[in-house]
Amino acid sequence: MSEKLDKLKELQEELSKKVKVVPLSHFPRLVGGADVSYPEPSSALGVIVIYDLKTRKVLEEVFAVEKVSFPYIPGFLSFRETPVLKKAFVRLKNIPEVLMVDGQGILHPRGLGLASHLGLELSIPTIGVAKKPLLGQFEPPEDKPGAFSPIFVQGEIKGAVLRTRKGVKPVYVSPGHLIDLDSALKVVKASLSGYRIPEPLRKAHLLTQRLRRECCDYPGWGHRQQGRGENP
């Protein structure tokens, strides 16, 4: 396995050179939220929700189920979750102008977190919004919504710690692909609705929980799954 991981590290380093950190050309209206859940160890459930920032409503929901072919290894999450999210993405009728991902962007040991990898695969702007930091040095932001502080990796700013709700743990925002940190922060802030997690991702998480509770005669699922989880 170590030899295989060494090759995957090399692949990540090569792919990270293709990631583009650039400002958005315009502020988006349709923002996607992507989340992956595991109803059973051998199956991954990937969902994408399209959220309209103007109407503050969900425009579209899609999901896909895929056999898990890669183990959970910190730093290599994209190889585990990109396949099922790509499978869900092709079912969309409305292509998001920006896609938020529950994971890291360039704030990654080799600059290729799930958001960056998925952004390269789909050729769309992506943002990593993680619940925990993977690396970097930072100061806690003020305890007020919208406050943030930069995350430094070897002296360079790779992301930001963003306070989304007073008295609640912050989230960790980083550019994925075809977006810069300033644009990413503006989109995430515009997507907040009083919860810790920005609304597109929150809706995606709720969808995974709902699908796990409902009838699950989906390919690869052998029996009805009962999902439990707190709303973010």
Q: Where are the beta strands (DSSP E) in 41-167?
A: 43-52, 57-67, 98-101, 126-130, 148-153, 156-162
143 labeled part of a ligand binding site: no
Q: Are 99 and 28 in contact (CB under 8 A)?
A: no
52 labeled part of a ligand binding site: no
Nearest of 192, 211, 212 to residue 202 by alpha carbon = 192
Q: Are strands 30-40 and 98-101 parallel, antiparallel or unpaired?
A: parallel
- Find the Cα–Cα–Cα–Cα dihedral 186, 135, 21, 102, rounded to 10°: -60
Distances (CA, A) of 43 to 74, 173, 184, 187, 218: 19, 28, 31, 31, 10
Kindly report the number of other CB atoms within 10 A of residue 31's CB atom.
Answer: 26
Binding-site residues for Mg(2+), please?
35, 102
Binding-site residues, please?
35, 102
